[in-house]
A and B are shown apart, each in its own frame.
Chain A
């Protein structure tokens, strides 16, 4: 438990809202950050809205045996609701702003980044291009390590649907990484040549 979590538990008591939630906020932020396509402000908003929504439910939270998966489930529902609400707005995809953001993202791939960082950047960009449901399942399964069985309950989605989202998402992400697989293969073949000629 982090220092701030311990302090909040001490200050408000272990059964208080702060005491119960403090050790989960950082984790929720991390998951929210992935859900929101690596956008800090949106992730903060999502977590903040979740905490405000949950504050009156402290008794319910206290009674939960496995709090973290439950919190992720509530946050996921809130995230999807929010996405649906935003998508109904005609300004959500306002061309001018979207173009600006895309152009800026491309520009951010600085030539000076190391190869690993460049790949990570490509991967994060590709993750942003997934739809919200695909991004959520990749974040929770492939990054956070939840099993599909756990996610079936957590996201209240049949396992077949989860698999389908996951497989489609990975296929898209692999497509992004493929152009960067070249040097690795070249290195292998160089090694093979070297071994063969020696």
Chain B
């Protein structure tokens, strides 16, 4: 066996996937070849590091919360289908924005109504909100649902004072141009609460001379903790 052959078989050799004869050939070659011994060492080192990577468990309370949320979603029939929400937006013939995140606030049963009023009104009075614990990292998902392909849509997202982008704390505004495909287009905003109080995350879509603004209240309550997060969940 030469080094080229060993390279081809190395991973299978270390995984114990070779037959006896091939495995013995590999062992013999490795014993006599410094370069391949280094290769083996490198491969073993990687395996060892992967095995010893820190094991990250869920945050406190997640197990009970997630199971309770699964039960609640079915028991109360509150699991709204995203398809339903899309249908609502399509029927209005408007560019609609659904603002979601992984632990939605408690008013999930009114979401369709809220969505409809958002899509049909220029000013929203019935704004959705999200509770964020201080310093907690949270992903807010913006789902842009459009009835047809839209080219060169300008998107402007402005953050309120009580939150920052988790990985770019100095950025207050995101502005870019993109094309939206018919259906849902997802953007995840990783945010972190840095101040108590209430702010409004605003998203502006500008297309073909017109524009629509959608807003989401972000509430940082001094009394809220990770454990007290609302547990009813709406999936999309």
Which B positions have Cβ atoms within 8 angstroms of A?
Answer: 11-12, 15, 17, 42-43, 45-47, 49-51, 53-59, 62-64, 66-67, 69-71, 73-74, 79, 102, 137-139, 144, 165-168, 171, 174, 176, 178-181, 183-190, 233, 235
Contact = CB atoms under 8 A, between A and B. Distances in A.
Contacts of A163: 11-12, 17
A98 B165 CA distance: 12
Nearest to A55: B70
A41 B186 contact: no
A147 B168 CA distance: 40
A170 B57 contact: no
Given A91-B185, A94-B178, A142-B50, A52 B168 contact: no
A126 to B, nearest CB: 10
A90 B42 contact: no
**Secondary structure type dominating chain B contacts:** mixed
Nearest to B45: A177
Q: Can you list the 3 inter-chain pairs with the closest CB atoms, starting with the nearest?
A: A104-B167, A41-B139, A51-B70
A99 B24 CA distance: 48
Given A41-B190, A44-B66, 12 more contacts: A8-B64, A8-B67, A25-B67, A30-B57, A41-B137, A48-B70, A90-B181, A123-B50, A163-B17, A166-B11, A173-B50, A174-B43
Nearest to A167: B11
A90 B165 CA distance: 21
Interface of A: 2, 4-5, 8, 17-18, 21-22, 25-26, 29-30, 33, 38, 40-45, 47-49, 51-52, 54-56, 86, 88-92, 94-97, 100-101, 103-105, 119-120, 123-124, 138, 142-143, 145, 148, 163, 166-167, 170, 173-174, 177-178, 181
**Secondary structure type dominating chain A contacts:** helix
Contacts, number: 155
A30 B55 contact: yes
B58 A100 contact: no
Given A48-B233, A94-B176, A104-B168, A174 B46 contact: yes
A97 B187 contact: yes
Given A90-B180, A138-B50, A100 B67 contact: no
A18 B67 contact: yes
Nearest to A171: B11
Contacts of B50: 123, 138, 142-143, 173
Contacts of B11: 163, 166-167, 170
